[in-house]
């Protein structure tokens, strides 16, 4: 079997996970790759930790930035609410103009990096049970692996639709090396089963080191149930109730709370605590976050970074769709439109657009050029909005549903919602999701599960297919999914391309 070991170890140790916390240095220790075999690996407790650590690594592969854009931007340009100054970032422009195709490198990165994470999770789930070690620790590692596998599949099934479902380790001789597609329902069954097992694995409710926590498991499960209630599965009332119940467990735990200031969302000192439930981990000067150059305007001299790419910023019409007085739309809250000059910090330049302050690391931008800011995958504000939407669908506009959404609005310095019909509250909560979770890779997923898009001019929701972006392109039904990458179709004849690509 030794000829397959190189394949396995490339998946297992393609890079070292960095989780920030009290034992941060532990995640920087490289294993000795020279003597990996199936006979001598997966035999010690540290092997269990190593394989689980490798699963986290792939969370970062779709992030980043630079002069060619970055894969995470794909989900933002697909909403019609983002713009770019990078003419050479063709992958961004094709998605933004709704002329995307299967050659897009962004989609290919999502596919390959997520399946790499799944492969490592499959190894962990298969091999850790046979390791002699503390049983409680073993159970927790398996819970982490199942959560991460569920998270990767949750992204893939929403992005690509019918996909290959692989739940066992695969080697070069495996009949499943080129697997067929399965229905989205089958994928969701595995996602839910993994999360239910992870719930029972003894994970701590919170974890300031950045590892998977019980709160993260329950929060993701509430999101999954909400999606299953809508399109494409349309499981309806039962799953809205499941989403509400699971989100309420997180709320009632009293382990999380909204930050008092939006500045805390972009403060590296606040990562993995407070409002932040689960994040992709970074550490300045060791493994710095790499999207800072993408969220500053193109070559306007405001940053200590030498590369100022203008890769992504918010459409003016979207920022101006926030309610009057909404603090999130105020200068240097979620967005910024002016900034001081690198050459003279006493001088301020009008940037001519709305750039993303939510992800802006001030210290890195002004001095260090090395950011320790984490990328938020799940935060408490989303749980509150999931609860408000699901509770309204299940039980109508209850006091609890109002309180959840009004917590979000109070921080934004907006008046409480009250006296609405079920239909009115539904759209009010949707609008809060668009405005609160903007540019966090959430909005496109909401558009596809609801089959709705937000008209920034009328400030109303309309059908996804036929929705016209403020700058002209019109959504078609094909944009409910992204194309399966060309290389995957070419290499696996069992895969069928999504309609319209």
Q: How confident is the model at residue 401 (pLDDT cuts 50, 70, 90)?
A: very high
- Supply the pLDDT for residue 309: 97
Average pLDDT over residues 133-153: 98
pTM: predicted TM-score of the whole model, two decimal places: 0.94
Q: What is the pLDDT of residue 232?
A: 98
Specify the length of the chain in residues. Answer: 501
pLDDT score, position 176: 81
Are 71 and 106 in contact, with CB atoms under 8 Å apart?
yes
Tokens 């959840």 sit on residue: 404
Q: Which two tokens stand for residue 248?
A: 């309420």
- In the DSSP assignment, the letter for residue 336 is E
pLDDT at 27 over 60: no
pLDDT at 173 (0 to 100) = 85
**Predicted local confidence at residue 24, as pLDDT:** 44
Beta strands 375-379 and 313-314 are: unpaired
What's the pLDDT band for 10 if we cut at 50, 70, 90? very low
Q: Is the pLDDT of residue 174 over 90?
A: no
> Rounded to whole angstroms, how far apart are CA atoms 480 and 125?
32
- Residue recorded with tokens 């909404």: 326
At residue 3, the pLDDT reads 31
Residue 241 has pLDDT above 80, yes or no: yes
Name beta bridge partners: 279: 376
Q: CA-to-CA distance for 203 and 454, rounded, in angstroms?
A: 38
At 172, is the pLDDT very low, low, confident or very high (cuts 50, 70, 90)? confident
Strand partners, 278: 378
Cα angle 457, 314, 378 (rounded to 5 degrees) comes to: 105
Residue 14 has pLDDT above 70, yes or no: no
**pLDDT tens-digit series, residues 38-87:** 667 899 999 999 999 999 999 999 999 989 999 999 999 999 999 999 99
Tokens of 403: 């309180």
- SS in 3 state form for 372-405? CCCEEEEEHHHHHHHHHHHHHHHHCCCHHHHHHH
Q: How large is the average pLDDT for residues 460-471?
A: 98
Distance CA 26, CA 327 (A): 41
**Per-domain residue ranges of the chain:** 282-373
Q: With cut-offs at 50, 70 and 90, classify the pLDDT of residue 1.
A: very low
Question: Are residues 212 and 148 in contact, defined by beta-carbon separation less than 8 angstroms?
Answer: yes
368-391 pLDDT, tens per residue?
999 999 999 999 999 999 999 999
Q: Is the pLDDT of residue 290 over 70?
A: yes
Q: How confident is the model at residue 493, as a pLDDT? A: 95
Each residue of 331-358: pLDDT tens digit?
Answer: 999 999 999 999 999 999 999 999 999 9
Q: What is the chain's alpha carbon radius of gyration, rounded to the nearest angstrom?
A: 22
């Amino acid at each position: 079997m030794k000829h397959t070991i190189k394949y396995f170890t490339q998946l297992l140790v393609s890079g070292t996970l960095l989780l920030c916390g009290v034992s941060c240095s532990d995640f920087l220790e490289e294993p000795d790759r020279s003597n990996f075999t199936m006979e001598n690996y997966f035999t010690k407790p540290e092997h269990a930790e190593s394989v689980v650590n490798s699963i986290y690594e792939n969370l970062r592969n779709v992030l980043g930035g630079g002069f060619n854009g970055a894969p995470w931007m794909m989900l933002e340009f697909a909403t019609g609410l983002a713009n770019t100054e990078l003419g050479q970032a063709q992958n961004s422009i094709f998605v933004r103009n709704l002329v995307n195709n299967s050659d897009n490198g962004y989609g290919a990165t999502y596919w390959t990096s997520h399946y790499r994470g799944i492969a490592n999770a499959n190894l962990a789930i298969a091999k850790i049970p046979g390791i002699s070690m503390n049983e409680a620790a073993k159970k927790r590692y398996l819970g982490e692996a199942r959560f991460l596998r569920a998270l990767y599949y949750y992204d893939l099934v929403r992005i690509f639709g019918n996909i290959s479902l692989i739940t066992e380790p695969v080697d070069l001789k495996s009949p499943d090396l080129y697997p067929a597609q399965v229905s989205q329902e089958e994928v969701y069954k595995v996602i839910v089963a993994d999360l239910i097992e992870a719930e029972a694995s003894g994970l701590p409710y919170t974890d300031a080191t950045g590892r998977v926590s019980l709160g993260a498991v329950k929060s993701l499960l509430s999101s999954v149930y909400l999606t299953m209630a809508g399109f494409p599965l349309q499981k309806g009332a039962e799953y809205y109730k499941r989403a509400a119940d699971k989100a309420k467990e997180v709320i009632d735990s009293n382990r999380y709370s909204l930050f008092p200031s939006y500045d805390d969302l972009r403060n590296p000192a606040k990562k993995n605590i407070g409002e932040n439930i689960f994040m992709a981990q970074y550490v300045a000067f060791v493994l710095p976050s790499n999207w800072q150059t993408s969220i500053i305007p193109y070559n306007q001299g405001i940053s200590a970074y030498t590369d100022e790419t203008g890769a992504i910023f918010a459409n003016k019409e979207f920022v101006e769709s926030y309610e009057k007085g909404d603090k999130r739309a105020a200068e240097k809250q979620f967005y910024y439109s002016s900034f001081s000059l690198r050459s003279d910090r006493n001088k301020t330049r009008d940037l001519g657009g709305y750039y993303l302050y939510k992800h802006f690391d001030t210290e890195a931008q002004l001095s260090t050029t090395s950011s320790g800011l984490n990328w938020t995958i799940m935060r408490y504000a989303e749980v509150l909005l999931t609860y408000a939407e699901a509770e309204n669908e299940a039980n109508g506009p209850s006091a609890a549903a109002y309180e959840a959404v009004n917590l979000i609005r109070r921080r934004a310095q907006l008046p409480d919602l009250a006296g609405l019909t079920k239909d009115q509250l539904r759209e009010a909560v949707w609008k809060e999701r668009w405005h609160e979770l903007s540019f966090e890779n959430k909005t496109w997923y909401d558009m596809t599960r609801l089959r709705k898009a937000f008209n920034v001019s009328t400030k109303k929701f309309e059908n996804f297919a036929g929705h016209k972006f403020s700058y002209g392109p019109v959504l078609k039904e094909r944009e409910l999914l992204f194309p399966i990458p060309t290389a995957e179709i070419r290499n696996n004849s069992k895969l069928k391309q999504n309609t319209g690509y």
